[in-house]
Amino acid sequence: MVPGPKRRSKSCRRNATALKQIIAKLRKADVLLGEGKKLPEITKALGIHEVTYYRWRCEYGGLSVSQARRLKELERENTCLRRAISDLTLDKLILQEAARGNF
């Protein structure tokens, strides 16, 4: 069996560009926009797609590197807490079902 091409998950692709690089590119884009250049020219110079620019702008616009790191840390913690809540809710439902004798 011949292995196929390795596929990256969304989280790996998103981490491909470090937060420092993202913020630096957004700042450079702001400077270039201030100089009067058009967005297609700017995104081509930065080596990104316009959609990527808008997504980064929405998520990281106006943040410093430390703030962006803290944001990512909080997002990871939030995900972990959501999983814990869903696991506990499922356990609670299973125990309620067992207490009713419907197993």
Residue 92: domain span: 71-103
4 within a domain of the structure (yes/no): no
Q: How far apart are CA 59 and CA 61, in angstroms?
A: 6
Residues 76 and 57 in one domain: no
Percent of the chain with pLDDT over 70: 82
pTM across the whole model: 0.58
Alpha carbon 46 to its chain centroid, in Å, reads 20
Per-residue model confidence (pLDDT) at position 32: 93
Indicate whether 59 and 75 sit together in one domain. no
CA 80 centroid distance within chain = 15
The answer to the question of residue 80 being in a domain is yes
Number of structural domains in the chain: 2
pLDDT (0 to 100) of residue 14: 53
Q: How confident is the model at residue 48 (pLDDT cuts 50, 70, 90)?
A: very high
The radius of gyration of the chain's CA atoms, rounded to the nearest angstrom, is: 22
Q: What is the pLDDT of residue 9?
A: 47
